[in-house]
Amino acid sequence: MAKIICLECGKSFEHLGSHLRRMHDMSGDEYREAHALPRGLPLASDSYRETRRQILAQSIATGAMTRPDQADLVEAARAAGRPGKTPSDKERHRKIMQALRPGDHSLLPDGACRANGRDAVREREYQRAYRAKRNGDPSDMDAWVAKYRG
């Protein structure tokens, strides 16, 4: 069975949850924070999680595990959706993208062309006008059309 290595002590485990609490007195969230890991990163091996998932699915399918308000809970979770990214998440993602594709996410200077050969400023103005129009204000799009196609 695959194992994952604890970044605090270097030992390997199928799952870190109880080890972190017992040996390092930290929660999973504190561990992720301390080692700059993504918030949703699982702290258990894929095979361990798959085994747990199968056991849980079987318990639910056979009715061994259920709650009277289960349907309400599922509905509430679906309605709540996923949480938004935190500012530190956004900053971390920006650094990752900059390392992967340097310069890709900065504004092109005036007069530059995009990779497809189109004028960067014209395209940027179009995008702003398009977003404004989509949000109910067509005046920028009218101005753009008059400027470039009129």
The span of 3-11, 46-54, 74-82, 90-98 binding Zn ion (CB under 5 A) equals: 3-11
Q: Between 45 and 129, name the residue whose CB sits nearer to Zn ion.
A: 45
The span of 7-15, 46-54, 93-101, 130-138 binding Zn ion (CB under 5 A) equals: 7-15
Q: Is 9 in the site for Zn ion (CB under 5 A)?
A: yes
Complete DSSP assignment for 64-119: SS--TTHHHHHHHHHHH-PPPPPHHHHHHHHHHHHHHSTTTTSPPPTT-B-TTS-B
Residue type, 74: V
* Binding residues with Zn ion: total (CB under 5 A): 3
Q: Between 6 and 43, name the residue whose CB sits nearer to Zn ion.
A: 6
> Is the Cβ–Cβ distance between 9 and 31 less than 8 Å?
no
Q: Between 12 and 139, name the residue whose CB sits nearer to Zn ion.
A: 12
